[in-house]
Structure 1
């Protein structure tokens, strides 16, 4: 069957991945187009580095006169758009999210409303948004009574509610519910002075019942909303204070990216089916992210094959260029975790790709069908002295060959680091170890400040 969209290298790369699916029908695709450019596989230190580099590549395309509407960034899960949105806004790169932008999603607006009300009790819009979310049994009549009290007293809604619960204007059930809400806001406001703002956010979302509401929800969207809430807390860690983060959100929400040069499309792989673009960026190709660990845990081999079909879809959305990337570490659930490239990266035919891996992440990836054998046997790509990932990759290959899924949690403190050690990091330079937690190090760098890094990226001078 002929493919009229993609070049030869793009089609060959996608076919090399999808051929691993045992349930796939024996359909062979071909194209009359020329071979075109090879896929570029990029490795970065972390998610922020990945977002910066992808943005820079897109800016280069824009400077060369490429209409940005012909460029797309495709991610596995909705929460991954946040880091790219932040970067696009910071550099003024026009973009459009197919669906809803991260900070405009309902669950993110709800969470931010809680935080705004904690920091500024006079915020009436925030009060109205979350006073009955999750549902507290406050009906229309009760909320109207709060508004009447606010107008009569000239006070904000929160202050009016506090006054109202001391009277008999409301039914006992509504009075207790509203009173409990007001006490919670007051308690969180007092706690904010003595705790980190990310811990405060977790406390508010958990104790308000908001997280529990989505955990109990059985709709297909619920899991994605929980992932978005986790990503929101991750985003807060880039700011020194809650107020600074909320001010940043205000700027982001006011951003206008209209452009005569078009807008970069940012979407999930599921949303991309049926679409096509000249240039495609595929970030986040790491084990546990893509393929999704949850999908594999829930559906086993069937789930893995569905993930592989998504990889095929992502690559074949491109007419001319594919930029595929992974990061050496990501912040997941508030903790830095080391990661390894997706098994789908290994499945790419070697003749279809060009590597560009950040120094220190490893100089080569075992591509193609024979990769597992080469890794296990210490062949060309599995030999660290020749630029491969070395013994760690061979251990992973051996586990896969034995039929067990690899564990993606780094083990121990292989470098033997201790607090006070003077160390060197390829990206952040010289610094002193402040705290050691397994293979995670907190380091006070001379120029970059305090950072949490993976021990594997650090050496002793």
Structure 2
């Protein structure tokens, strides 16, 4: 298909066996190409990390990869200038029996690191500055560990960025769904009870007593609102909701009944409040997806359908809470998602986990010799059903399978992939690499043992590598309760409620504006003779002449200007009333006047504007000519009226409202503009103030 093919990649970062990728196929292909006439070029330098970090990673993985890769393809030469003598590798020992305790200790370590002012090199400015939360990434092996670390950071009030599951079970989404159910079915009193409980914080015994009292008094059950204003606001939307789409309904409910204000007040801090708002925005996104789903399936979209669709989401991705990306926050993600990214500080976790063995997962097997001309031939899918699950000891059949040739080969391949995964994590750091391990002895078969590098964990201020190089290091111990920062008071604020304005909905056109009382003519300039115009439809003449002037202003040196002008006038039905050469002459004398009078740079034609008027109407239009000058913007509006010069001032003042609308749009943007009326047929211009 191509005369030359360039393949770019890093075999040390082949880590997607968990998604079914077959690294053996890649390696076999590369080996075949290398044995042929392919040329292999290896990048020798590392421009990302500090020299001590590069030495550390080189040493660890030259040993770990020695059976599968030539050291020349592993060892890199550092090229980044040394800007700090701070530790390059840190060991954090995390106290605690279970994951939650260790995650809390990890959060304490992150907070301590930022408080210490550890120096990092800013990726943009290259200047040395104290570390920030946004400079730090914490990597874990699984999504569940990522979520646990994120919860610990949030409990510690350390800002963090990650995507967590549980959107549809979040309390703010529960409140929104209850309001939607209440709107959809006035007999759904369970939805009313949920709104009362969530919005007002009423305990079950309180709202249940109120409900029973209401019924005991002989009142209609569906009219009960528990004294909750939010329920009453929802009910006021019922008439309008009948003509709204599901998305429009969700927008109205989220923004008009007080849900956003209520969930913001829940707190307990600004980070969580921001997450709640983003979750509500995600519900809007789900409404969009639902309508797109209905359109694709040729089904009618309805609020009832949307509520049922939320009960059984078609993908786990729909239940992900969005990332709160604003502000300075720690990145928490898996090793796999970290591939291709970099941070000044990277914290690695889960090195105490047992090595993963993909023996019990579907995999590809090469049954025949590899042929690069038919790379997919001679292959089959193999899968050992795991009948033993968590039973790992005292199961002879399991042990026999694991000890078989195929079992040992799977273990070897799994081990190599785990080494590559660790390489991805360690090579993400620019300034500091932190290896976080639990207190005490590591379990047998821990991931850390896969590197065959007993020097990997530092225990002092320096770490001497086997080849004699010394790396500055630090070792710290952290526990969950150490140095917990005091909670900052959370005082949620919200926009003041404003009554809906009774604004006219009809959009305003500047050209329809009435003349402004008190407008004056500041200047009259004549710069040409009247061009001949035959009797006809002056509106068509005006449109055609406008277009010819725009054509000349945009391309003043066009050699075929008159031919283009004739085509333009024909298209506008103005050719019978005005000749092309006369229209071009009128445009060129106008251009000459503009250049001599204003020296503009640039000249813009048909410039769009939009402006919100004081009465609430939306004014939109196009300025015929906008000049950017040293004195500020100049607006010129063409008029095709063939009046004599003596009549220009009175005619120009008739359009003072249109010019005032243009000026007000610029004033709203903080600029002051001069305004002119150009009489294109008569050959003059009038400045109106």
User: Given the two structures, how large is their TM-score scaled by the length of structure 2?
Assistant: 0.29
Higher relative contact order (CA closer than 8 Å, sequence separation 6+): 1
Bigger CA radius of gyration: 2
